[in-house]
Chains A and B, each alone.
Chain A
Amino acid sequence: MVTGRALVVAILGFLVLPAAVVAIAAFNDRALLSFPPQSLSLRWFIKAFSYRDFQAGFYNGLIVMLASSGIALVIGTAFAVALDRYRFAGRALIESLLLAPLVVPHFTIGLGFLILAAQLGAMRSFAVVVVCHVVLVLPFVLRSVYISLRNLDRRLELAAESLGARPARVLFTVTLPLLLPGLVSGWLFAAILSFNEFTASLFVTSQRTQTLPVAMYNYVREYADPTMAAMSLIFILVTALLLTLANACFGLGKVLNVDHGR
Protein backbone atom coordinates (compact mmCIF):
# COMPACT_ATOMS: atom_id res chain seq x y z
CA MET A 1 0.00 0.00 0.00
CA VAL A 2 2.76 2.42 0.99
CA THR A 3 4.97 1.42 -1.95
CA GLY A 4 1.95 1.77 -4.23
CA ARG A 5 1.39 5.31 -3.02
CA ALA A 6 5.09 6.16 -3.40
CA LEU A 7 4.99 4.84 -6.97
CA VAL A 8 1.98 6.99 -7.84
CA VAL A 9 3.61 10.06 -6.30
CA ALA A 10 6.81 9.37 -8.27
CA ILE A 11 4.92 9.11 -11.56
CA LEU A 12 2.98 12.29 -10.78
CA GLY A 13 6.36 13.86 -10.02
CA PHE A 14 7.58 12.87 -13.46
CA LEU A 15 4.57 14.62 -15.02
CA VAL A 16 5.06 17.79 -12.96
CA LEU A 17 8.89 17.93 -13.09
CA PRO A 18 9.26 19.86 -16.40
CA ALA A 19 6.70 22.46 -15.31
CA ALA A 20 8.45 22.95 -11.97
CA VAL A 21 11.87 23.25 -13.59
CA VAL A 22 10.60 25.73 -16.19
CA ALA A 23 9.09 27.81 -13.39
CA ILE A 24 12.51 28.06 -11.72
CA ALA A 25 14.28 28.81 -15.00
CA ALA A 26 11.81 31.57 -15.92
CA PHE A 27 12.82 33.72 -12.92
CA ASN A 28 16.54 33.26 -13.44
CA ASP A 29 18.23 36.63 -13.99
CA ARG A 30 21.09 35.28 -16.12
CA ALA A 31 20.70 34.56 -19.83
CA LEU A 32 22.29 31.14 -19.47
CA LEU A 33 20.48 28.29 -17.81
CA SER A 34 21.84 27.48 -14.37
CA PHE A 35 20.47 25.70 -11.33
CA PRO A 36 19.84 27.02 -8.80
CA PRO A 37 19.57 30.58 -10.19
CA GLN A 38 22.01 33.03 -8.58
CA SER A 39 19.62 35.97 -8.74
CA LEU A 40 15.98 36.35 -9.63
CA SER A 41 14.22 38.75 -11.99
CA LEU A 42 11.15 39.25 -14.11
CA ARG A 43 13.06 40.43 -17.19
CA TRP A 44 12.24 37.34 -19.30
CA PHE A 45 8.53 37.87 -18.76
CA ILE A 46 8.89 41.46 -19.91
CA LYS A 47 10.87 40.31 -22.93
CA ALA A 48 8.30 37.61 -23.74
CA PHE A 49 5.46 40.14 -23.68
CA SER A 50 7.29 42.72 -25.76
CA TYR A 51 8.68 40.34 -28.39
CA ARG A 52 6.98 41.22 -31.70
CA ASP A 53 6.70 37.68 -33.09
CA PHE A 54 5.05 36.48 -29.88
CA GLN A 55 2.56 39.37 -29.95
CA ALA A 56 1.66 38.70 -33.58
CA GLY A 57 1.54 34.95 -32.91
CA PHE A 58 -0.79 35.49 -29.98
CA TYR A 59 -3.28 37.46 -32.08
CA ASN A 60 -3.04 35.05 -35.02
CA GLY A 61 -3.53 32.12 -32.68
CA LEU A 62 -6.51 33.80 -31.07
CA ILE A 63 -8.18 34.38 -34.46
CA VAL A 64 -7.53 30.80 -35.57
CA MET A 65 -8.62 29.41 -32.20
CA LEU A 66 -11.91 31.32 -32.05
CA ALA A 67 -12.80 30.53 -35.65
CA SER A 68 -11.82 26.87 -35.66
CA SER A 69 -13.20 25.94 -32.23
CA GLY A 70 -16.48 27.71 -33.00
CA ILE A 71 -16.88 26.00 -36.37
CA ALA A 72 -15.84 22.63 -34.93
CA LEU A 73 -18.37 23.03 -32.10
CA VAL A 74 -21.26 23.58 -34.51
CA ILE A 75 -20.25 20.81 -36.95
CA GLY A 76 -19.36 18.38 -34.17
CA THR A 77 -22.51 18.95 -32.11
CA ALA A 78 -24.78 18.60 -35.13
CA PHE A 79 -23.10 15.40 -36.23
CA ALA A 80 -22.99 13.94 -32.72
CA VAL A 81 -26.77 14.34 -32.51
CA ALA A 82 -27.17 12.67 -35.92
CA LEU A 83 -24.83 9.84 -34.83
CA ASP A 84 -26.77 9.33 -31.62
CA ARG A 85 -30.24 9.30 -33.17
CA TYR A 86 -30.25 8.51 -36.85
CA ARG A 87 -29.20 5.59 -39.02
CA PHE A 88 -28.18 6.63 -42.53
CA ALA A 89 -25.97 5.64 -45.44
CA GLY A 90 -22.33 6.70 -44.99
CA ARG A 91 -22.75 7.15 -41.23
CA ALA A 92 -19.79 4.94 -40.33
CA LEU A 93 -17.67 6.33 -43.18
CA ILE A 94 -18.14 9.99 -42.18
CA GLU A 95 -17.57 9.12 -38.52
CA SER A 96 -14.32 7.28 -39.16
CA LEU A 97 -13.06 10.03 -41.49
CA LEU A 98 -13.79 12.68 -38.85
CA LEU A 99 -12.09 10.64 -36.11
CA ALA A 100 -9.11 9.74 -38.34
CA PRO A 101 -7.05 12.83 -37.38
CA LEU A 102 -6.57 11.13 -33.99
CA VAL A 103 -4.34 8.53 -35.63
CA VAL A 104 -3.17 10.15 -38.88
CA PRO A 105 0.18 11.86 -38.18
CA HIS A 106 -0.20 15.64 -37.93
CA PHE A 107 2.68 16.22 -40.31
CA THR A 108 0.77 14.29 -43.00
CA ILE A 109 -2.36 16.37 -42.41
CA GLY A 110 -0.31 19.58 -42.41
CA LEU A 111 1.45 18.62 -45.63
CA GLY A 112 -1.90 17.73 -47.23
CA PHE A 113 -3.44 21.10 -46.43
CA LEU A 114 -0.26 22.88 -47.54
CA ILE A 115 -0.43 21.18 -50.96
CA LEU A 116 -4.18 21.80 -51.17
CA ALA A 117 -3.66 25.49 -50.35
CA ALA A 118 -0.86 25.76 -52.91
CA GLN A 119 -3.11 24.29 -55.60
CA LEU A 120 -5.93 26.67 -54.72
CA GLY A 121 -3.56 29.64 -54.47
CA ALA A 122 -4.45 30.20 -50.80
CA MET A 123 -1.01 29.55 -49.31
CA ARG A 124 -0.78 32.56 -47.03
CA SER A 125 -4.40 32.80 -45.97
CA PHE A 126 -5.91 32.27 -42.55
CA ALA A 127 -8.59 30.12 -44.15
CA VAL A 128 -6.28 27.15 -44.69
CA VAL A 129 -5.03 27.33 -41.09
CA VAL A 130 -8.59 27.49 -39.75
CA VAL A 131 -9.84 24.60 -41.92
CA CYS A 132 -6.83 22.49 -40.91
CA HIS A 133 -7.50 23.19 -37.21
CA VAL A 134 -11.21 22.41 -37.56
CA VAL A 135 -10.28 18.96 -38.89
CA LEU A 136 -7.75 18.43 -36.06
CA VAL A 137 -9.97 19.44 -33.12
CA LEU A 138 -13.27 18.04 -34.39
CA PRO A 139 -12.74 14.52 -32.92
CA PHE A 140 -12.54 16.00 -29.41
CA VAL A 141 -15.76 17.99 -29.79
CA LEU A 142 -17.51 15.01 -31.33
CA ARG A 143 -16.45 12.75 -28.48
CA SER A 144 -17.37 14.99 -25.58
CA VAL A 145 -20.76 15.97 -27.05
CA TYR A 146 -21.50 12.35 -27.90
CA ILE A 147 -20.74 11.23 -24.32
CA SER A 148 -23.12 13.94 -23.00
CA LEU A 149 -25.80 12.80 -25.44
CA ARG A 150 -25.52 9.23 -24.19
CA ASN A 151 -26.11 10.44 -20.64
CA LEU A 152 -29.10 12.56 -21.65
CA ASP A 153 -32.54 11.48 -20.50
CA ARG A 154 -34.59 11.17 -23.70
CA ARG A 155 -37.83 11.23 -21.72
CA LEU A 156 -37.40 14.98 -21.14
CA GLU A 157 -37.51 15.55 -24.91
CA LEU A 158 -40.48 13.24 -25.30
CA ALA A 159 -42.26 15.15 -22.55
CA ALA A 160 -41.66 18.47 -24.34
CA GLU A 161 -42.85 16.92 -27.59
CA SER A 162 -46.00 15.49 -26.07
CA LEU A 163 -46.80 18.94 -24.69
CA GLY A 164 -46.80 20.20 -28.25
CA ALA A 165 -43.30 21.64 -28.73
CA ARG A 166 -42.06 21.58 -32.33
CA PRO A 167 -38.67 19.93 -33.10
CA ALA A 168 -36.83 23.28 -33.20
CA ARG A 169 -38.26 24.28 -29.85
CA VAL A 170 -37.34 20.91 -28.31
CA LEU A 171 -33.81 21.25 -29.68
CA PHE A 172 -33.22 24.77 -28.39
CA THR A 173 -35.09 24.66 -25.09
CA VAL A 174 -34.51 21.07 -23.96
CA THR A 175 -31.75 19.20 -25.81
CA LEU A 176 -29.08 21.91 -26.13
CA PRO A 177 -29.44 23.28 -22.57
CA LEU A 178 -29.12 19.73 -21.19
CA LEU A 179 -26.02 19.22 -23.33
CA LEU A 180 -24.40 22.43 -22.09
CA PRO A 181 -21.63 20.82 -20.00
CA GLY A 182 -20.61 18.65 -22.95
CA LEU A 183 -20.79 21.60 -25.33
CA VAL A 184 -18.73 23.91 -23.12
CA SER A 185 -16.08 21.30 -22.37
CA GLY A 186 -15.96 20.17 -26.01
CA TRP A 187 -15.47 23.78 -27.09
CA LEU A 188 -12.86 24.34 -24.37
CA PHE A 189 -10.89 21.25 -25.43
CA ALA A 190 -11.06 22.37 -29.06
CA ALA A 191 -9.98 25.92 -28.19
CA ILE A 192 -7.01 24.85 -26.04
CA LEU A 193 -5.88 22.24 -28.58
CA SER A 194 -6.14 24.69 -31.46
CA PHE A 195 -4.24 27.41 -29.61
CA ASN A 196 -1.46 24.96 -28.72
CA GLU A 197 -1.37 22.95 -31.97
CA PHE A 198 2.08 22.94 -33.50
CA THR A 199 3.12 20.33 -36.06
CA ALA A 200 0.38 20.83 -38.64
CA SER A 201 0.49 24.60 -38.04
CA LEU A 202 4.18 24.63 -38.88
CA PHE A 203 3.28 23.33 -42.34
CA VAL A 204 0.22 25.49 -43.08
CA THR A 205 1.17 28.86 -41.58
CA SER A 206 3.27 31.50 -43.28
CA GLN A 207 5.23 34.39 -41.77
CA ARG A 208 1.99 36.40 -41.84
CA THR A 209 -0.27 33.78 -40.24
CA GLN A 210 2.12 32.07 -37.85
CA THR A 211 0.53 31.08 -34.54
CA LEU A 212 2.17 31.36 -31.12
CA PRO A 213 3.55 27.78 -30.90
CA VAL A 214 5.21 28.23 -34.31
CA ALA A 215 6.71 31.55 -33.20
CA MET A 216 7.95 29.88 -30.01
CA TYR A 217 9.47 27.00 -31.96
CA ASN A 218 11.36 29.46 -34.17
CA TYR A 219 12.54 31.27 -31.03
CA VAL A 220 13.89 28.08 -29.42
CA ARG A 221 15.82 27.30 -32.58
CA GLU A 222 17.52 30.71 -32.56
CA TYR A 223 17.92 31.79 -28.95
CA ALA A 224 18.74 29.95 -25.75
CA ASP A 225 17.71 32.60 -23.18
CA PRO A 226 14.92 31.91 -20.66
CA THR A 227 12.30 33.99 -22.54
CA MET A 228 10.81 30.69 -23.65
CA ALA A 229 10.77 29.49 -20.05
CA ALA A 230 8.68 32.53 -19.13
CA MET A 231 6.33 31.83 -22.05
CA SER A 232 6.09 28.16 -21.13
CA LEU A 233 5.27 28.97 -17.52
CA ILE A 234 2.43 31.26 -18.62
CA PHE A 235 1.12 28.53 -20.96
CA ILE A 236 1.26 25.90 -18.23
CA LEU A 237 -0.47 28.10 -15.64
CA VAL A 238 -3.24 29.27 -17.97
CA THR A 239 -3.92 25.74 -19.23
CA ALA A 240 -3.99 24.28 -15.71
CA LEU A 241 -6.23 27.11 -14.52
CA LEU A 242 -8.72 26.63 -17.37
CA LEU A 243 -8.84 22.88 -16.75
CA THR A 244 -9.31 23.39 -13.01
CA LEU A 245 -12.19 25.77 -13.72
CA ALA A 246 -13.71 23.29 -16.15
CA ASN A 247 -13.35 20.58 -13.53
CA ALA A 248 -15.02 22.70 -10.86
CA CYS A 249 -17.90 23.66 -13.18
CA PHE A 250 -18.85 20.35 -14.70
CA GLY A 251 -16.46 17.62 -13.56
CA LEU A 252 -13.76 16.65 -16.03
CA GLY A 253 -14.06 13.07 -14.84
CA LYS A 254 -17.52 12.81 -16.36
CA VAL A 255 -16.52 14.51 -19.60
CA LEU A 256 -13.49 12.25 -20.04
CA ASN A 257 -15.61 9.26 -19.09
CA VAL A 258 -13.26 8.22 -16.25
CA ASP A 259 -15.88 8.46 -13.51
CA HIS A 260 -17.93 5.45 -12.56
CA GLY A 261 -20.27 4.66 -15.38
CA ARG A 262 -22.68 2.67 -13.27
Chain B
Amino acid sequence: MQRRPFFGLFVTPAAVTALVFTAALVAVLQYSVRKHVPGSLDVGGLTFDNFTAMWRPLYGRVFLDTLLLCLLTSAISLLLGYPLAYALVRARSAMMKSAILIIVVTPLFLGEVVRTYSWIVVLGNNGFVNSVLLKLGMIAAPVQLLFTVTGVTIALVHVTLPVVVVMLAAALAHIDPAYEKAAESLGAGPVRVFMTVTLPLSAPGIIAGFTTAFAWTFSAFATPQLVGGGKVNMISNLVYQLGFANFNFPFAASLSVAALALTFVSLWMLRFATRPFEKLGQH
Protein backbone atom coordinates (compact mmCIF):
# COMPACT_ATOMS: atom_id res chain seq x y z
CA MET B 1 0.00 0.00 0.00
CA GLN B 2 1.08 3.54 -0.80
CA ARG B 3 2.26 5.52 2.21
CA ARG B 4 -0.01 8.50 2.83
CA PRO B 5 0.78 10.07 6.21
CA PHE B 6 -2.04 12.17 7.73
CA PHE B 7 -4.30 11.52 4.74
CA GLY B 8 -7.57 11.66 6.69
CA LEU B 9 -6.43 14.63 8.73
CA PHE B 10 -5.56 16.59 5.59
CA VAL B 11 -8.68 15.85 3.58
CA THR B 12 -11.53 15.66 6.10
CA PRO B 13 -11.75 19.38 7.04
CA ALA B 14 -11.73 20.35 3.37
CA ALA B 15 -14.39 17.75 2.57
CA VAL B 16 -16.57 19.07 5.41
CA THR B 17 -16.17 22.66 4.14
CA ALA B 18 -17.09 21.57 0.64
CA LEU B 19 -20.15 19.85 2.10
CA VAL B 20 -21.22 22.98 4.03
CA PHE B 21 -20.84 25.08 0.88
CA THR B 22 -22.94 22.55 -1.05
CA ALA B 23 -25.57 22.71 1.70
CA ALA B 24 -25.77 26.51 1.28
CA LEU B 25 -26.27 26.16 -2.47
CA VAL B 26 -28.87 23.43 -1.94
CA ALA B 27 -30.67 25.74 0.51
CA VAL B 28 -30.98 28.36 -2.24
CA LEU B 29 -32.17 25.73 -4.70
CA GLN B 30 -34.68 24.42 -2.21
CA TYR B 31 -36.10 27.89 -1.46
CA SER B 32 -36.38 28.70 -5.16
CA VAL B 33 -39.16 26.16 -5.63
CA ARG B 34 -41.21 27.13 -2.56
CA LYS B 35 -44.23 29.39 -2.21
CA HIS B 36 -43.77 32.86 -0.74
CA VAL B 37 -45.84 33.49 2.38
CA PRO B 38 -46.31 37.28 2.52
CA GLY B 39 -45.27 38.84 5.79
CA SER B 40 -43.42 35.74 6.94
CA LEU B 41 -39.94 34.33 6.57
CA ASP B 42 -41.32 30.80 6.47
CA VAL B 43 -42.03 29.33 3.07
CA GLY B 44 -44.99 27.41 1.69
CA GLY B 45 -45.31 24.32 -0.48
CA LEU B 46 -43.64 23.35 -3.72
CA THR B 47 -44.22 25.58 -6.73
CA PHE B 48 -42.53 26.63 -9.96
CA ASP B 49 -44.31 30.01 -10.01
CA ASN B 50 -41.10 31.82 -9.07
CA PHE B 51 -39.46 30.71 -12.29
CA THR B 52 -42.44 31.51 -14.50
CA ALA B 53 -42.77 34.96 -12.87
CA MET B 54 -39.24 35.68 -13.99
CA TRP B 55 -40.22 35.84 -17.65
CA ARG B 56 -41.53 39.38 -17.34
CA PRO B 57 -39.82 42.07 -19.46
CA LEU B 58 -38.83 43.92 -16.26
CA TYR B 59 -36.62 41.02 -15.16
CA GLY B 60 -35.51 40.08 -18.67
CA ARG B 61 -34.16 43.58 -19.02
CA VAL B 62 -32.07 43.27 -15.86
CA PHE B 63 -30.68 39.90 -16.97
CA LEU B 64 -29.73 41.36 -20.35
CA ASP B 65 -28.18 44.49 -18.77
CA THR B 66 -26.17 42.30 -16.40
CA LEU B 67 -24.79 40.21 -19.25
CA LEU B 68 -23.93 43.27 -21.33
CA LEU B 69 -22.22 45.01 -18.40
CA CYS B 70 -20.21 41.84 -17.71
CA LEU B 71 -19.06 41.55 -21.34
CA LEU B 72 -18.27 45.26 -21.64
CA THR B 73 -16.37 45.37 -18.35
CA SER B 74 -14.36 42.22 -19.14
CA ALA B 75 -13.44 43.47 -22.62
CA ILE B 76 -12.29 46.89 -21.37
CA SER B 77 -10.37 45.28 -18.49
CA LEU B 78 -8.56 43.08 -20.97
CA LEU B 79 -7.65 46.01 -23.24
CA LEU B 80 -6.36 48.13 -20.35
CA GLY B 81 -4.86 45.18 -18.49
CA TYR B 82 -2.64 43.88 -21.27
CA PRO B 83 -0.24 46.86 -21.51
CA LEU B 84 -0.05 46.97 -17.71
CA ALA B 85 0.68 43.26 -17.37
CA TYR B 86 3.30 43.54 -20.10
CA ALA B 87 4.96 46.47 -18.34
CA LEU B 88 4.84 44.59 -15.02
CA VAL B 89 6.50 41.46 -16.39
CA ARG B 90 9.06 43.26 -18.54
CA ALA B 91 9.99 46.03 -16.10
CA ARG B 92 13.79 46.06 -15.79
CA SER B 93 14.18 47.52 -12.32
CA ALA B 94 12.91 45.63 -9.28
CA MET B 95 11.68 48.93 -7.78
CA MET B 96 9.53 49.62 -10.84
CA LYS B 97 8.16 46.11 -10.73
CA SER B 98 7.21 46.37 -7.06
CA ALA B 99 5.62 49.78 -7.55
CA ILE B 100 3.43 48.57 -10.42
CA LEU B 101 2.52 45.41 -8.51
CA ILE B 102 1.46 47.28 -5.35
CA ILE B 103 -0.60 49.81 -7.32
CA VAL B 104 -2.29 46.98 -9.21
CA VAL B 105 -2.89 44.66 -6.28
CA THR B 106 -4.10 47.16 -3.65
CA PRO B 107 -7.53 47.78 -5.24
CA LEU B 108 -7.95 44.00 -5.48
CA PHE B 109 -8.00 43.74 -1.69
CA LEU B 110 -9.89 46.92 -0.86
CA GLY B 111 -13.41 45.59 -0.92
CA GLU B 112 -16.35 46.87 -2.87
CA VAL B 113 -17.62 49.52 -0.47
CA VAL B 114 -14.44 51.61 -0.27
CA ARG B 115 -13.85 51.40 -4.02
CA THR B 116 -17.44 52.25 -4.84
CA TYR B 117 -17.53 55.18 -2.44
CA SER B 118 -14.31 56.52 -3.97
CA TRP B 119 -15.89 56.47 -7.41
CA ILE B 120 -18.93 58.36 -6.13
CA VAL B 121 -16.54 61.10 -4.98
CA VAL B 122 -14.81 61.05 -8.37
CA LEU B 123 -17.89 60.89 -10.59
CA GLY B 124 -20.56 62.84 -8.66
CA ASN B 125 -22.04 66.10 -9.91
CA ASN B 126 -19.96 67.99 -7.31
CA GLY B 127 -17.24 65.39 -7.64
CA PHE B 128 -13.68 65.54 -8.80
CA VAL B 129 -14.11 65.07 -12.55
CA ASN B 130 -16.91 67.60 -12.88
CA SER B 131 -15.16 70.18 -10.66
CA VAL B 132 -11.97 69.94 -12.71
CA LEU B 133 -13.78 70.14 -16.04
CA LEU B 134 -15.87 73.11 -14.84
CA LYS B 135 -12.79 74.96 -13.54
CA LEU B 136 -11.00 74.37 -16.81
CA GLY B 137 -14.03 75.73 -18.63
CA MET B 138 -14.37 72.58 -20.71
CA ILE B 139 -18.01 72.14 -19.71
CA ALA B 140 -20.69 74.65 -18.73
CA ALA B 141 -22.74 72.33 -16.49
CA PRO B 142 -21.85 69.11 -14.64
CA VAL B 143 -21.89 66.00 -16.79
CA GLN B 144 -24.14 63.28 -15.38
CA LEU B 145 -21.83 60.35 -14.67
CA LEU B 146 -23.37 58.84 -11.55
CA PHE B 147 -26.48 56.72 -12.19
CA THR B 148 -25.38 56.02 -15.78
CA VAL B 149 -24.09 52.90 -17.51
CA THR B 150 -20.83 54.76 -18.23
CA GLY B 151 -20.28 55.52 -14.55
CA VAL B 152 -21.11 51.96 -13.46
CA THR B 153 -18.81 50.51 -16.14
CA ILE B 154 -15.90 52.74 -15.09
CA ALA B 155 -16.26 51.65 -11.45
CA LEU B 156 -16.65 47.98 -12.43
CA VAL B 157 -13.53 48.05 -14.63
CA HIS B 158 -11.61 49.39 -11.63
CA VAL B 159 -12.65 46.24 -9.73
CA THR B 160 -11.77 43.72 -12.43
CA LEU B 161 -8.66 45.34 -13.93
CA PRO B 162 -6.31 44.20 -11.10
CA VAL B 163 -7.29 40.54 -11.31
CA VAL B 164 -7.02 40.59 -15.11
CA VAL B 165 -3.53 42.11 -14.85
CA VAL B 166 -2.43 39.42 -12.36
CA MET B 167 -3.69 36.62 -14.63
CA LEU B 168 -2.20 38.11 -17.80
CA ALA B 169 1.11 38.74 -16.03
CA ALA B 170 1.21 35.12 -14.84
CA ALA B 171 0.80 33.96 -18.44
CA LEU B 172 3.31 36.47 -19.83
CA ALA B 173 5.91 35.62 -17.18
CA HIS B 174 5.90 32.00 -18.26
CA ILE B 175 6.66 32.73 -21.91
CA ASP B 176 10.24 31.83 -22.68
CA PRO B 177 11.96 35.02 -23.99
CA ALA B 178 13.91 32.77 -26.37
CA TYR B 179 10.83 32.51 -28.63
CA GLU B 180 10.70 36.28 -29.09
CA LYS B 181 14.45 36.48 -29.62
CA ALA B 182 14.22 33.79 -32.27
CA ALA B 183 11.51 35.67 -34.14
CA GLU B 184 13.54 38.89 -33.87
CA SER B 185 16.70 37.29 -35.17
CA LEU B 186 14.74 36.01 -38.15
CA GLY B 187 13.91 39.62 -39.00
CA ALA B 188 10.46 40.18 -37.47
CA GLY B 189 9.77 43.75 -36.27
CA PRO B 190 8.50 44.41 -32.73
CA VAL B 191 4.85 44.58 -33.85
CA ARG B 192 5.12 41.31 -35.73
CA VAL B 193 6.89 39.61 -32.82
CA PHE B 194 4.11 40.72 -30.52
CA MET B 195 1.26 39.74 -32.84
CA THR B 196 2.64 36.36 -33.92
CA VAL B 197 4.56 35.21 -30.86
CA THR B 198 3.75 37.00 -27.59
CA LEU B 199 0.00 37.48 -28.06
CA PRO B 200 -0.79 33.88 -29.11
CA LEU B 201 1.40 32.46 -26.35
CA SER B 202 -0.45 34.52 -23.75
CA ALA B 203 -3.85 33.17 -24.88
CA PRO B 204 -4.44 31.12 -21.70
CA GLY B 205 -3.97 34.27 -19.59
CA ILE B 206 -6.35 36.23 -21.82
CA ILE B 207 -9.01 33.56 -21.49
CA ALA B 208 -8.54 33.17 -17.72
CA GLY B 209 -8.58 36.95 -17.24
CA PHE B 210 -11.70 37.48 -19.30
CA THR B 211 -13.53 34.62 -17.58
CA THR B 212 -12.66 35.81 -14.08
CA ALA B 213 -13.55 39.42 -14.91
CA PHE B 214 -16.90 38.20 -16.21
CA ALA B 215 -17.67 36.20 -13.06
CA TRP B 216 -16.55 38.98 -10.73
CA THR B 217 -18.64 41.59 -12.50
CA PHE B 218 -21.61 39.28 -12.28
CA SER B 219 -21.04 39.12 -8.54
CA ALA B 220 -20.80 42.91 -8.08
CA PHE B 221 -23.42 44.43 -5.82
CA ALA B 222 -22.38 47.67 -4.12
CA THR B 223 -21.08 49.20 -7.36
CA PRO B 224 -24.30 48.96 -9.39
CA GLN B 225 -26.32 49.68 -6.23
CA LEU B 226 -24.55 52.93 -5.28
CA VAL B 227 -23.06 54.17 -8.56
CA GLY B 228 -26.10 52.95 -10.53
CA GLY B 229 -28.46 54.36 -7.90
CA GLY B 230 -31.48 52.36 -9.07
CA LYS B 231 -31.06 53.57 -12.67
CA VAL B 232 -28.66 50.78 -13.60
CA ASN B 233 -29.66 47.46 -12.06
CA MET B 234 -27.95 44.12 -12.05
CA ILE B 235 -29.32 40.77 -10.90
CA SER B 236 -27.54 41.17 -7.55
CA ASN B 237 -29.52 44.34 -6.82
CA LEU B 238 -32.78 42.62 -7.69
CA VAL B 239 -31.99 39.66 -5.41
CA TYR B 240 -31.18 41.97 -2.50
CA GLN B 241 -34.24 44.13 -3.04
CA LEU B 242 -36.56 41.12 -3.20
CA GLY B 243 -35.00 39.59 -0.11
CA PHE B 244 -34.64 42.57 2.18
CA ALA B 245 -37.26 45.06 0.95
CA ASN B 246 -40.05 42.62 0.04
CA PHE B 247 -38.94 39.67 2.21
CA ASN B 248 -39.76 37.44 -0.74
CA PHE B 249 -36.88 35.05 -0.18
CA PRO B 250 -38.23 32.29 -2.45
CA PHE B 251 -38.26 34.65 -5.43
CA ALA B 252 -34.83 36.03 -4.47
CA ALA B 253 -33.60 32.43 -4.34
CA SER B 254 -35.04 31.56 -7.75
CA LEU B 255 -33.39 34.65 -9.25
CA SER B 256 -30.11 33.53 -7.67
CA VAL B 257 -30.52 30.07 -9.18
CA ALA B 258 -31.20 31.61 -12.59
CA ALA B 259 -28.17 33.90 -12.13
CA LEU B 260 -25.99 30.94 -11.20
CA ALA B 261 -27.21 29.00 -14.24
CA LEU B 262 -26.55 32.03 -16.42
CA THR B 263 -23.03 32.40 -14.99
CA PHE B 264 -22.19 28.78 -15.73
CA VAL B 265 -23.75 28.77 -19.19
CA SER B 266 -21.86 31.98 -20.06
CA LEU B 267 -18.57 30.65 -18.71
CA TRP B 268 -19.09 27.36 -20.55
CA MET B 269 -19.85 29.20 -23.78
CA LEU B 270 -16.78 31.41 -23.30
CA ARG B 271 -14.67 28.33 -22.80
CA PHE B 272 -16.19 26.68 -25.87
CA ALA B 273 -15.66 29.78 -28.02
CA THR B 274 -12.08 30.22 -26.89
CA ARG B 275 -11.03 26.58 -27.16
CA PRO B 276 -9.29 27.05 -30.55
CA PHE B 277 -7.22 29.86 -29.03
CA GLU B 278 -6.26 27.93 -25.93
CA LYS B 279 -4.05 25.66 -28.05
CA LEU B 280 -2.06 28.71 -29.13
CA GLY B 281 -0.65 28.98 -25.65
CA GLN B 282 0.77 25.46 -25.61
CA HIS B 283 4.49 25.53 -25.93
Contacts and interface: CB of A to CB of B under 8 A. Distances in A.
19 contacts: A11-B84, A11-B161, A33-B121, A34-B126, A35-B127, A98-B21, A116-B23, A119-B27, A135-B24, A167-B5, A198-B221, A213-B112, A220-B120, A235-B110, A235-B114, A243-B106, A243-B109, A247-B98, A258-B89
Given A8-B84, A108-B260, A79 B13 contact: yes
Interface residues of B, number: 90
A14 B267 CA distance: 28
A109 B24 contact: yes
Nearest to B81: A11
A216 B113 contact: yes
Contacts, number: 275
Given A15-B103, A35-B128, A108-B260, A216 B114 contact: yes
Contact of A135 (B17, B103, B109): B17
Interface in B118-140: 118-122, 124, 126-128, 131-132
Interface of B: 4-7, 9-11, 13-15, 17-18, 20-25, 27-28, 30-31, 41, 80, 83-85, 87-89, 97-98, 100-107, 109-115, 117-122, 124, 126-128, 131-132, 158, 161-162, 166, 169-170, 173-174, 176, 211-212, 215, 218-222, 226, 235-236, 239-240, 243, 249, 252-253, 256, 259-260, 263, 267
A97 interface: yes
Contacts of A103: 211-212, 215, 263, 267
Given A32-B126, A198-B112, A115 B31 contact: yes
B7 A21 contact: no
Q: Which 6 pairs from chain A and chain B are nearest by CB?
A: A196-B111, A112-B24, A18-B118, A167-B5, A79-B14, A35-B131
B156 to A, nearest CB: 13
Contacts of A232: 114, 117-118
Categorize the interface residue count of chain A: 35 or more
B17 A244 contact: no
A75 B9 CA distance: 10
